[in-house]
Chains A and B, each alone.
Chain A
Amino acid sequence: DGGITQSPKYLFRKEGQNVTLSCEQNLNHDAMYWYRQDPGQGLRLIYYSQIVNDFQKGDIAEGYSVSREKKESFPLTVTSAQKNPTAFYLCASTEPLQGGNYGYTFGSGTRLTVV
């Protein structure tokens, strides 16, 4: 998975239920990101973290929560407050320091469906 592993690949959520999407990387990257992808809307930023124990809201953070207790892990929780969670979720990481290639490496994604 190119150094980033997302699980599960498919996830089904019932109404009123919280679910957690896993993202693990072994690239030793400091920065990690969560994006949501809907048809025709590109990738929208949910949350990002530049360093362990720190994270910031992106453009569409409402109804989501994250934690960054370890450098390798950046789980995303979709809470019951997110009214339209059906989407494809992508996790990414990068090394945001100067020099080198600091494009994102993406995970393979989790497709979340409300049932």
Chain B
Amino acid sequence: GENVEQHPSTLSVQEGDSAVIKCTYSDSASNYFPWYKQELGKRPQLIIDIRSNVGEKKDQRIAVTLNKTAKHFSLHITETQPEDSAVYFCAARDHYNQGGKLIFGQGTELSVKP
């Protein structure tokens, strides 16, 4: 089945710097890749997603890139702010099999220092 690896597990940046989180997946049939942000004690919230027919997607300070050949995708946060501090999860879904379930990476704890 699908396996998603996420790096790094922790990331500390200064306010205003950029942050990059990387994920790799194993199943070439995967075609949907969401990113979730989870603040302490709260539910994960979808922040951006990308489908396999697109190479890059942006939403204000957040962008996601996808390299299908290499089977990896990345989250880019620019001009980081203290409120960006949270745990971020990537995920992959094989839409046509496996019931549409998402397989999650292990998470990255991002800390933005003022």
Contacts and interface: CB of A to CB of B under 8 A. Distances in A.
User: Do A and B make up one complex?
Assistant: yes
A31 B100 contact: yes
A102 B104 CA distance: 15
A45 B101 contact: yes
Interface residues of A, number: 27
A108 B42 contact: yes
Contact of A43 (B32, B95, B100, B104): B104
B43 A103 contact: no
B42 A102 contact: no
B106 A41 contact: yes
B99 A48 contact: yes
Contact of B44 (A31, A44, A90, A98): A90
Given A42-B106, A102-B32, A94 B89 contact: no
Given A103-B34, A106-B44, A42 B89 contact: yes
Contacts of A43: 44, 89, 104
Interface of A: 2, 31, 33, 35, 40-45, 48, 50, 56, 58-59, 90, 94, 96, 98, 101-104, 106-109
